Structure formats: C-alpha cells, structure tokens
Structure 1
C-alpha cells in the first residue's frame, strides 16, 4: 500500500493536474444534445476549451456565463438567466449542464436557487433539463469534477423504475477513452446484456464526421437512457471515481453495484468477465478465452523489455493505478509516482509512495531514482527531453499525438495493445543505445536491460530463462 505525501512547495511548477470544472465539463460532453456551461469568466472556459480541442482534434461545445468584475461582486443571477435563455433559443439542447468555477464559488453564488428562480421567470425552459454541479477549481482535480458530475446527473435525472434483468449500467472513469468504452460495450453485449453507459463519450468524442451540426454534443447518452438507468439490474463502475455515482444509483433505485479498480491487466479482466457471466447466466464467449491466451503470450513476450525497468508516472489516481498496476505485474519498478488528488485508489498502488504534486516533482523524482521511462501527459515532454528519457504519453491532455479517441487500454485486447506500446518504446531505447547488437538475442536482451529485472511471475530475467521462454 502506497503512502500519500503532499508536495510542500510554495508554488506549482509545470502543473500535472487539470481543474474540477474541466473534469465536470468532460463528463457532460458524454451526454447527447447537451450544452456544458462553466459559470465563471470567459478565460476559465477558453482555457478548458483549448485543452479539449487539442486533445480530441474535434469541435467542442462549451459555453460560459461570462462573469466580469462587477457581476462577480454583485452576483451572477442575471448572467445565468441570460446564458440559459440564449442557449435554449440558439441550440435547443435537451440538457444544459452548469458547473461552477473558483470565481463564483468564492463569491458564494446560490446557483441552485438561481435555477429555481429562472424556471419561474422563463417558462420556455420547461422542456430543457438543467443539471448543476459544484466544482470549485481551487480544490480537487479533473477526476473529482468528473466524479461529482456523474453524481449530479444521477441525482437530477434518474428515478426508480421496474427492473430489467438483462440491462446494466456502466459508469466509466474519466481515464477511459472512447475506444475503451466501445471495447467494454462490445464485451458486455456479447453476454446478451444491454448496457447504458453514463456518460458515453464514445458517441460524442469518437472522432466521427457528423451529418449535421446542432451546436450541442452530437451523440452520447440520451436523456431517455439516463432515465432508464433507474431500471437497470446492476451497476458496474470502472475506477474508484465512479463509486459515488454508483452509490447514488443504489440509493435512488436500489441497484446493486460493483466497482472494478481497473480493467487494464489479466486478473481484473478475469473478474470482470466472471461477473458478467454471473449477471447474464451465460458462459464466457470463446473469443475471450482466445484473447486471454493471446494476452498471456503478449505478457511473456513483453516482459523481456519491461522487467526491471524503473518507471516514473504522473497521472490522475485511477489512471495511475491502471498503468502502474500493469507495469508492476510486468516486472517494472514504480520508483516515482506523482498524482493530483487524494483517492482510495492510491492504497491499491504497488509502490512505496505517491506524491500529490506537479511535473517538476516528477522530473526531480525520476532523476533521483534513475528512472528509465517517464509516463504522463504531453506537458511532460520537456522533462523527458531534459532527462534524455523516453516518454509514454497517457491521460489528458495528449495534444502532440493523434488518435487519442481510439486508443484502447482495457479488456484483454486493450491490455495487450498497451503492453506492446510500452515494450516497443523500450526496444527503441535498446536499439538507440546498442545499435550494433540489433536484432537482440535473448542473451543480449538480458544484458541490455536497464537493470536486473523480474518476470511477470517475479522470476529474475536471465539469459537461461529468456532462452527457455523463446524456445
């Protein structure tokens, strides 16, 4: 179990974390015909919008109440009313989702009260659902905002319904890509189950060319599906950040739940498929038995290049656990772990310590520990260059690579893809530092490893074991 230490620096240098309002907006982007709104200044919204556009390479619908110096002091009711009426008139969304910012939270705007007043004054908003979530950006991080947004959606829109035995609700964590959600949907539906994904960015941020432009999100969880979640027989969550929303569903509709700490790895996917088999009453499809066998082979092939590698990771808690847990199983050493916010997920991380800090902490920790590989988002590229170490980009934002929406890290196939990505990156380093020795024999691979490593089962990597595994 990792101990958690907060960085005591006077200021943040090269921030790792993103804000709560941005995380909440990201969750709202997974709802169909929705318009997310940040209740704050234009600058707050513009900054978040730029990050989302650069990561997904897509047009992002995101509005602001455009608070200024005067309205920040006197209160933002007029701005909220004007924003709601204008958005309803121009874009006609089915859902308007408001998240607060540090500016309006510091003032203490009673947004819930504002919404009640607006509904009385503006009957034209009667056909529009309005969801509000409190997300001050001076506390918490991206994952916290996403977590609170899911809970706000459930509490505002879900009501108890008669249970459908073959319907489940899937709550994906913010660290899952549209490709990850598509993979999980395919797995669940292969058991003959129907699934409601909440929120579903695979419908809105998957990089498709839409036939029209409405000014709102194009795809995602529909309002009807959200309401239908009150009749699901089971709730599955991926990541500790989904527990709060799953428990809200249980309180409202009595839906039983199970939270999977991650779905990147072998054992966790075994448990996931076993749970689906229990819910559906059907055996695990043969294709997943085949995929499991392929993953085992991938772990065997890949651990030659990950065993003993010293890794520095900077990520949100659930993503840190997903990546760090798999690397530990592949024989890597988690020497430096930096995260953004407190989470029960840290207790499950196979590392000595997690520091709540920034990318400067990651750079210094990686240098002190002699790490061979840095793993974080695109803002870590300068640190990797200064340390002359490879960088594996994960998380949000990744703006200097394309295809983020289709990257897959869950399930047997996603885990296998991620192992190949890591192993190939390390092979590139071996080729760079030992160009005359390529292609490597098992003996040379062992000699070129960054340190005396361990295999996926804890056995030391030696020329003998490498040769036996290759035979």
Structure 2
C-alpha cells in the first residue's frame, strides 16, 4: 500500500491545488444550455473565469450572486432569488447549476431550501432545471468538485427506482476530470462503432472545444448533455464510470438502473482499454470493428518502437489523484518508474497507487524531492514550467490549468490512439535529452599523428 505523507509546512507557497468550485464549473460546462451560478462574492466567479479562459482560450458563461459584507452576515437568500429570476428571464437557460463557495458555506447557506422557495414563488420558471452542488473551496480540490456535480445529477435528476423499460442501445459514460475534450471525442467514436448510443456526462466535446463554430457568443453553454437524457440515465442498458474519484457516482447509479455498471480507473493502459472494448463487445453483441483493431496494433507497434527510449525512465508527478493513478499505471506499463509523486490533497484513490510514497504538498515540495531524487521528466500543470526550466527537466503538461501552450487543453491521452501518441511524445523527449548529452572521450584514447594515418592509408 502506498504511504501517504503530509508536508510539514504550515502553508502552500507554490500550490498545485484548484478549489472545488472550479471542478463543478468545469463539469457544468458539459451540460446543454447551462449556466453556472456561483453563490459567493464576485471575485469567486472572476477568479474561476480567468483560469478557464486561459486554459480553453474560449469565453466561459458564468454568473455570481455577488455576496457582499452585509449579505454575508445577514443572509444572502435574496441574492439567490434575484440571480435565478434574472437568469431565467434574460438568458432562458435549460439548466442552472447553483454551486456554493467557501464564503457561502461558512455562512451556512441552504441552497436546497432557497431553490424550493424560488420554485414556489416563481412557478413560471418550473421548466428550468436547477441543480444545487455543495463545493466549499476550503475542503477538497477540483477533483472533488467535479465529482460532486455528477453525484448531484444522479441524486437530484435520476429517479430513485429503476424504470420499467430499458433502452437496449443506450450506454451511459461518466468521465472524470482527467478526460480532455479530445479524449471524450475518441471515446464517443469507440462506443458508436459498436452501434451504441453514448450519453457522455459531462460532454465537453462541443461546449469547450471550438464551440463558437456554430454561431456567435452565447451566454449559455453550446453542446453538452441534454437534461432529458440525464433524467433517463436509469433506462440505459449499461453504465461506464471511468475514474477512481467517481466511485460514489457508480454506487448511486447501480440501484437506479437495470443495466450493468462497469467501473474503470482510466483508459491509459493497454489492459484497461482492452477491458473497455471487451465490455462494449459484450453489451452490443457485435465484433470489434477493424479500425479499432488497427489502432490497437498501432499501439503495440509504438510500444516496441519507444521501448528503448522509455525503459528505465524516471518520472515525477504532481497532480490530482485520478491523474496520478492514470500516469503511474501508464509509466509502469512502459517500464518507467515513478520516483516522486505529489498530490494537492489527501484523496481515497491515493492509497491504491503503485508507488512507494505520495506527498501531500505543493510544487515546492516537488522541488525538494527532485533535489534528492532527480527525474527525467516532470508531469504537472503549467505552474511547474518555472521549476522545470530551473532544473532543466522536460515538463509534460497535464491537469489544470494549462495556459502556456496552445491546444494542450484537448490533447488526447486516453484510448488506443491517445496512448500511442503519448508514447511518441515521451519517446521524443527522452531521445532529445539523450542526444544533448556531451560526447564522451576516453582519457585512454591513443592519438596518432596525421602522417602515420596517411602512411597506413598507402598515400
């Protein structure tokens, strides 16, 4: 079992942590015609919006209840009523995600009660789905907030009792925060190749990946999972829950549906991908399509090609628990070793990692670990760019936020094709580092005069 060690520092000086509200906002971006409403001060939403715009390079729909000192002390329910009414009348959303912050949680705000009173006083807006999510940023991290929204979807919108019918072609796909829009797009193609209809939750493939191609700026999300399909999740023939952080989502879905529930930690290794494809084969009754077989063959060829470069490589990880699990399993499957691992908070998934020790800390702790045990590559978000430059170690960008490279937000890491491309990326990094090592000249090498060499050549 992995040893989880807490940093002895009294504070984080170079944090890798992102708060729970950011995770819930990110998941809300994958719901159709949705707008997240942050119950907190204006700075809470402004801070989140800056990070998302830097990461996705797209405008982000986001609103705030604008709590201020008086409402923080006396109560801010009126702010919620006013914000909900304004959004319903001006923006006509299909979904509003009302999420808390550290400020409103410390105040003791009851979001569920506020929504109930709003429903009673504004019956004309009953067609708008309002989802409440508790996401205090003084606890947990982005991974927790992302999972909390999906748990709220199941608890508040999926009937507690399984429906009488079952949709034999529909498959639910719950994906954790580690899946980029590119990953989600690839997974959709795998499912559809078996003649199945995937309901991906949340679906970021259109809402946060070139969504302005269908029109001008919208105050609501474009694309995403429709509310109607989320209310019918219990009717699907199967449910895939991919990500260790979504274990509670799987536990909530199992009694609500009649189909099988398949849990996978990630899709970053050949073993996990084979299991995913085999499950799709069993559910659909169809043979594996030729193009998927070809992708698997390409991955096997890439593993052979990159074996010499990656074998024995030493990597350092600084990320959320789901990403740590995916990257550590990937590294071990390719003959690499994880010499340093840092997580922002202690999460249940850390105990199952195949590493000796995980430090709960920040990038400064990672720097100390690297000084003691050097690595060939660092896997972290863009905040680690300065550390990687100072240590002259390549940085493989993963997690959130990624703001110093274009296109990183949708890079494919999961699936046969994603694993293959990742192998080539890492293999080229290791080859580049190897070729920049100075040429070794033995002190025992004998030096021959030019005349002697000419005589030996018969000149």
1:165 matched to 2:168? yes
- Compute the RMSD of aligned alpha carbons: 1.6
1:207 to 195, 205, 210: 210
**1:174 Cα offset (Å):** 0.5
Query: Which whole-Å deviations, capped at 9, do the CAs of 1:300-343 have from their partners, x for residues lacking one?
Result: 11122222222111011111111121111111110100112333
Aligned equivalents of 2:270 and 2:101: distance in 1?
40
User: Alignment length, in residue pairs?
Assistant: 437
Q: Which has the larger radius of gyration?
A: 2
Give the match for residue 92 of structure 2: 92
- Please show how residues 273-312 of structure 1 align to structure 2 within 5 Å: 273-312=277-316
If the length of structure 1 is used for normalisation, what is the TM-score? 0.90
More displaced 10-residue stretch of structure 1: 136-145 or 322-331: 322-331
**Corresponding residue for 1:315?**
319
Deviation at 1:292, TM superposition (A): 1.5
Of the three residues 395, 402, 414, the one matched with 2:418 is 414
Against the structure 1 CA distance between its residues 11 and 405, is the aligned structure 2 distance closer, same or farther, given a 3 Å change threshold?
closer
Structure 1 206/435 Cα, relative in aligned 2: closer, same or farther at 3 Å? farther
Could you say which residue in structure 2 is the equivalent of 1:141?
141
Give the structure 1 partner of residue 429 of structure 2. Answer: 425
Aligned counterpart in structure 2 of residue 262 of structure 1, from 262, 266, 272: 266
CA contact (8 A) 2:236 2:258 kept: no
Are the aligned partners of 1:179 and 1:202 in contact in 2 as well (CA < 8 Å)? yes
Q: Is the 8 A contact 2:99 2:134 kept in 1?
A: yes
1:59 shift after superposition:
0.6
Aligned to 1:51: 51
Structure 1 residue 346: Cα displacement = 2.1
Question: Separation in 2 of the partners of 1:166 and 1:127?
Answer: 28
Q: 1:414-455: CA deviations, max 9, x gaps? A: 100111111112222223324899xxxxxxxxxxxxxxxxxx
1:8-27 to structure 2, matched below 5 A, reads 8-27=8-27
TM-score, normalising length: structure 2: 0.92
Q: Which deviates further from its counterpart, 72-81 or 250-259? A: 250-259
- For 2:282 and 2:351, the matched residues in 1 are separated by 28
Q: CA deviation at 1:280?
A: 1.0
Unmatched 5+ residue regions in structure 2?
A: 442-459
Per the alignment, residue 178 of structure 2 pairs with: 175
Quick check: 1:337 aligned with 2:347? Answer: no
**3-state secondary structure, aligned to 1:10:** coil
CA contact (8 A) 1:34 1:95 kept: yes
Counterpart check, 1:62 vs 2:62: yes
Tell me if 1:372 matches 2:367: no
CA-CA distance at 1:234 after TM superposition: 0.9
Q: 2:356 aligns with which of 341, 352, 355?
A: 352
Bigger Cα displacement from structure 2, 285-294 vs 25-34: 285-294
Counterparts of 1:48 and 1:315, CA distance in 2: 19
Residue of structure 2 in register with 1:152 after alignment: 152
Contact 2:316 2:341 (C-alpha < 8 Å) held by counterparts:
yes
Q: 1:278 and 1:363 mapped to 2: Cα distance?
A: 47
Shift, 1:105, TM fit: 0.5
Q: State how far apart, in whole Å, the 2-side matches of 1:251 and 1:267 are.
A: 28
Q: Look up the SS of the partner of 2:14 in the other structure.
A: coil
Alpha-carbon distance in structure 1 between the residues aligned to 2:279 and 2:438: 46
1:435 and 1:190 map into 2 onto residues whose CA distance is 50
Note if contact 1:205-1:405 (Cα within 8 Å) is conserved in structure 2.
Answer: no
Greater mean deviation of Cα atoms: 250-259 or 187-196: 250-259
Secondary structure at the aligned position of 1:13 is classed as coil
Task: State whether structure 2 residue 239 is matched by structure 1 residue 241.
Answer: no
Distance 2:13 2:214 in 1: 39
For the 8 Å contact 2:34–2:220, the answer to whether it is kept is yes
SS at match of 2:436: helix
In structure 2, the CA distance between the partners of 1:154 and 1:88, relative to structure 1 (3 Å rule), is same
CA 1:206 to 1:141, structure 2 compared with 1: closer, same or farther past 3 Å? same
1:367–1:85: structure 2 CA closer, same or farther, 3 Å change rule?
A: same
Task: Answer yes or no: is 1:189 the counterpart of 2:207.
Answer: no
Q: Partner of 2:81 in structure 1? A: 81
SS for the counterpart of 1:203 is coil
2:72 alignment partner in structure 1: 72
2:449 corresponds in structure 1 to none
- Distance, in Å, in 1 between the alignment partners of 2:438 and 2:293 is 38
CA distance in 1, matches of 2:176, 2:109: 29
For 2:328 and 2:214, locate their aligned partners in 1 and report how far apart those are by CA, in whole Å.
36
Structure 1 unpaired stretches of 5+: 438-471
Q: Which residue does the alignment assign to 1:467?
A: none
1:455 paired residue number: none
SS in structure 2 of the partner of residue 426 of structure 1: helix
